[in-house]
C-alpha cells in the first residue's frame, strides 16, 4: 500500500476540524509523538492532531481514508511493545484532550468516559463515591483508559478482578473510514450478534479508535492490607503461590520481584529495603469490608508462607505502610531506565508452576550475550516481566538481540506459555508472532483487519508480519 504524505492542503483541512491549537508540526514538539516507552523504537510522524470529540476523530479519519494517510492512535504513550510508534509517519491522532467523565451511574454501577482520561484520575474520581475500576497497570498515573482498552491492560489486581476486557460493556468506536459505531451499553449480558466489543478490546488500535467507553465498576473495598513476604528462592515463592491459590482465599494481587531487582531498586532509592538479600520478594494484597475477616485471612496467608520457608511476613495495614511495601515494585521501571542499558523489555506468561524454570531459562539465554535479566511481575497469574540489560559500554547487534529474544520466546512456549500477556504484539514482537500462534490464526486475523480497515491506514505496521 502506497501512503500519501501530509501536505499543506491536508494540514489545512485537519486544522479546520480541530483548530490550530491542536495541530503539532514543529519537529521538536513532534519528537514526543515519535515513540512510546518501548526501548529502541521511534519514527517521526508528519503531524500530530489532538482531537477533543468523537466528531473530530471521525473528521480526521475521513480525511485520512480519502487520501490514504496512515494514522497512529495515541493515548498516554506508555505502551511497551512500540504500539504507538508511527511506523509510516503520517498522522498521530492523540486523544489526550478527551478526558471527560460523562456519567457515573451508581444505580447501574457503570461509568461512561471519554477514553483520553488517565486511569489514575478516573480512579480518584470514582473513589470519592466509594467506587473503583479494578484494572491497575503500574503506569496508571500516566496511561489512559483508551490505551487500556487497546491493549486489554491488566495489572497486579488482574488475578482476582480480571482485565480491562471484563469491564467494558459499551463503546463508541470510530472506524477507518470515519464512520462511527456505537456498540453495547450498560448491559451485563448481551449476545445479540458477534461480540465486536471484545474483538476491538485488545486490538492495539488496528481495527478502530475507541473514543467513549461504558465501564462496569465495583464498590471500593473498605479495607486493603498488603503483605511483604521475602523468600530464599523463586521456587519457594512459586510453591507458596500455587498452594495459596488452591485454598478458598483469593488475594487481590500476588506480585513478585527477584532479588536482583530488589537490590538495584535499593541502589536507585538510596535506601535499604527489608530483606534485600532474599532472592524472591512477594507482595500479597487482600481486600474486603470486615476487618476481623481480613485479619484472619492474612494470618492464614502468613502461616502458609512460613511453612514454605518465608523469611518473614511484614504487614502493611495503613496507607503509609502499604506505600512503603509497594514503593520498590512501582519504582522498577524508573530504576532500570536510569541505572541500566536496556535492550529489550519482555512480557511473558507461563503456567504459574513453570515460573522458576522460565526465569532460569531466560537468565541462561541472556548470559550467552553477556546480558542480565531483571525479572518481576504478576506471580499470581504467571505473567513475568523480564527486562534485559547490558553494561553501559557494551553494544549488542540487532542480530544478537533478535537471536536472544527468539530463544527467550521459545523457552516460554516450551513451558506452555506465550510471548505476551498484556503488553501486546505491537511493532516489537512482529518477527516472533509466527512461533507463538499458527499461520491459520494469523490469516484469520488478517482477514478481520481487512474488513475493518481495507486501506490499512489504522496503526499500520503493527501485529502482522510483512504488513
- pLDDT, one tens digit per residue, over 353-388 is 999 999 999 999 999 999 999 999 999 999 999 999
* Residue 240 falls inside a structural domain: yes
Q: Are 273 and 262 in contact (CB under 8 A)?
A: yes
Q: Are residues 227 and 214 in the same domain?
A: no
**Alpha carbon distance 48, 104 (integer Å):** 31
* Residue 17 falls inside a structural domain: no
**Alpha carbon distance 1, 460 (integer Å):** 10
* Residue 255 falls inside a structural domain: yes
Which residues does 382 contact at the CB level (< 8 Å), separation at least 6? 349, 350, 351, 352, 354, 355, 417, 421
Residue 1's pLDDT is what?
Answer: 67
* Residue 38 falls inside a structural domain: no
Q: Are residues 106 and 215 in the same domain?
A: yes
Is residue 467 over pLDDT 60? no
Q: Are residues 346 and 386 in the same domain?
A: yes
* Residue 180 falls inside a structural domain: yes
Q: Are residues 309 and 238 in the same domain?
A: yes
Q: Are residues 117 and 148 in the same domain?
A: yes
**Alpha carbon distance 459, 71 (integer Å):** 6
CATH code, 345: 3.30.70.2740
Residue 429's pLDDT is what?
Answer: 97
Q: Are 342 and 428 in contact (CB under 8 A)?
A: no
Q: In 3D, which of 350, 340, 394 has the Cα closest to residue 369?
A: 394
Q: CA–CA distance from 207 to each of 65, 201, 452, 460 (Å)? A: 13, 9, 6, 10
Q: At what angle do helices 319-330 and 259-269 cross, to 10 degrees?
A: 110
Strand order across the beta sheet in which 253-258 lies: 314-316, 223-231, 280-288, 253-258, 372-378, 383-390, 341-349
Averaged confidence pLDDT in the chain: 96
Mean pLDDT confidence for 305-311: 98
Q: CA–CA distance from 431 to each of 81, 260, 466 (Å)? A: 12, 29, 9
Q: Are 382 and 355 in contact (CB under 8 A)?
A: yes
* Residue 159 falls inside a structural domain: yes
Q: Are residues 230 and 325 in the same domain?
A: yes
Residue 404's pLDDT is what?
Answer: 97
Q: What residue numbers bound the domain in which 384 lies?
A: 340-436
CATH code, 288: 3.30.70.2190
Q: Are residues 149 and 202 in the same domain?
A: yes
For the stretch 199-244, pLDDT in tens is: 999 999 999 999 999 999 999 999 999 999 999 999 999 999 999 9
Q: Are residues 213 and 229 in the same domain?
A: no
Q: Are 335 and 389 in contact (CB under 8 A)?
A: no
* Residue 371 falls inside a structural domain: yes
- Report residue 39's pLDDT band, with 50, 70 and 90 as the boundaries: confident
For the stretch 392-445, pLDDT in tens is: 888 999 999 999 999 999 999 999 999 999 999 999 999 999 999 999 999 999
Is residue 21 over pLDDT 70? yes
Residue 385's pLDDT is what?
Answer: 96
* Residue 36 falls inside a structural domain: no
For the stretch 88-131, pLDDT in tens is: 999 999 999 999 999 999 999 999 999 999 999 999 999 999 99
Q: In 3D, which of 23, 118, 116, 34 has the Cα closest to residue 63?
A: 23
How many structural domains are present in the chain? 3
Amino acid at each position: 500500500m502506497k501512503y500519501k504524505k501530509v501536505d499543506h492542503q491536508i494540514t489545512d483541512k485537519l486544522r479546520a476540524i480541530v483548530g490550530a491549537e491542536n495541530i503539532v508540526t514543529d519537529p521538536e514538539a513532534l519528537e514526543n509523538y515519535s515513540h512510546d516507552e518501548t526501548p529502541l523504537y521511534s519514527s517521526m510522524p508528519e503531524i500530530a492532531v489532538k482531537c477533543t470529540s468523537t466528531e473530530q476523530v471521525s473528521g480526521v479519519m475521513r480525511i485520512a481514508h480519502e487520501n490514504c494517510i496512515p494514522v497512529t492512535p495515541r493515548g498516554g504513550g506508555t505502551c511497551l511493545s512500540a504500539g504507538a510508534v508511527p511506523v509510516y509517519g503520517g498522522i498521530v491522532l492523540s486523544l489526550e484532550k478527551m478526558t471527560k467523565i460523562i456519567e457515573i451511574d451508581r444505580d447501574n454501577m457503570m461509568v461512561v468516559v471519554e477514553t483520553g482520561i488517565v486511569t489514575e484520575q478516573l480512579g480518584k474520581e470514582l473513589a470519592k463515591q466509594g467506587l473503583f475500576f479494578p484494572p491497575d497497570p503500574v503506569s496508571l498515573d500516566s496511561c489512559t483508559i483508551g490505551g487500556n482498552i487497546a491493549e486489554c491492560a491488566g495489572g497486579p489486581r488482574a488475578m482476582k478482578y480480571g482485565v480491562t476486557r471484563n469491564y467494558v460493556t459499551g463503546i463508541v468506536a470510530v472506524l477507518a473510514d470515519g464512520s462511527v459505531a456505537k456498540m453495547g451499553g450498560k448491559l451485563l449480558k448481551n449476545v445479540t450478534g458477534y461480540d465486536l466489543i471484545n474483538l476491538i478490546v485488545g486490538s492495539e488500535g488496528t481495527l478502530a479508535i475507541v473514543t467513549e467507553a461504558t465501564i462496569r465498576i465495583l464498590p471500593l473495598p473498605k479495607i486493603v492490607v498488603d503483605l511483604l513476604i521475602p523468600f530464599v528462592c523463586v521456587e519457594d515463592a512459586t510453591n507458596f503461590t500455587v498452594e495459596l491459590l488452591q485454598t478458598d482465599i483469593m488475594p487481590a494481587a500476588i506480585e513478585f520481584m527477584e532479588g536482583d531487582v530488589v537490590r538495584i531498586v535499593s541502589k536507585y532509592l538510596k535506601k535499604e529495603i527489608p530483606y534485600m538479600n532474599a532472592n524472591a520478594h512477594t507482595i500479597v494484597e487482600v481486600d474486603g469490608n470486615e476487618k476481623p475477616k481480613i485479619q484472619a485471612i492474612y494470618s492464614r496467608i502468613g502461616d502458609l508462607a512460613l511453612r514454605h520457608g518465608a523469611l518473614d511476613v511484614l504487614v502493611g495495614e495503613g496507607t503509609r505502610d502499604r506505600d512503603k511495601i509497594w514503593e520498590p515494585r512501582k519504582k522498577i521501571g524508573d530504576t532500570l531506565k536510569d541505572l541500566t542499558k536496556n535492550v529489550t523489555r519482555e512480557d511473558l506468561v507461563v503456567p504459574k508452576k513453570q515460573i522458576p524454570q522460565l526465569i532460569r531459562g531466560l537468565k541462561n539465554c541472556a548470559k550467552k550475550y553477556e546480558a542480565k535479566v531483571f525479572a518481576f511481575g504478576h506471580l499470581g497469574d504467571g505473567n513475568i516481566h523480564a527486562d534485559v540489560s547490558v553494561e553501559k559500554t557494551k553494544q549488542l547487534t540487532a542480530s544478537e538481540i533478535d537471536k536472544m529474544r527468539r530463544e527467550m520466546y521459545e523457552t516460554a512456549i516450551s513451558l506452555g506459555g506465550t510471548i505476551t500477556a498484556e503488553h501486546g504484539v505491537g511493532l516489537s514482537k512482529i518477527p516472533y508472532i509466527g512461533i507463538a500462534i499458527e499461520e491459520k490464526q494469523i490469516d484469520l486475523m488478517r482477514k478481520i483487519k481487512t474488513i475493518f480497515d481495507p486501506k490499512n491506514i489504522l496503526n499500520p505496521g503493527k501485529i502482522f508480519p510483512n504488513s
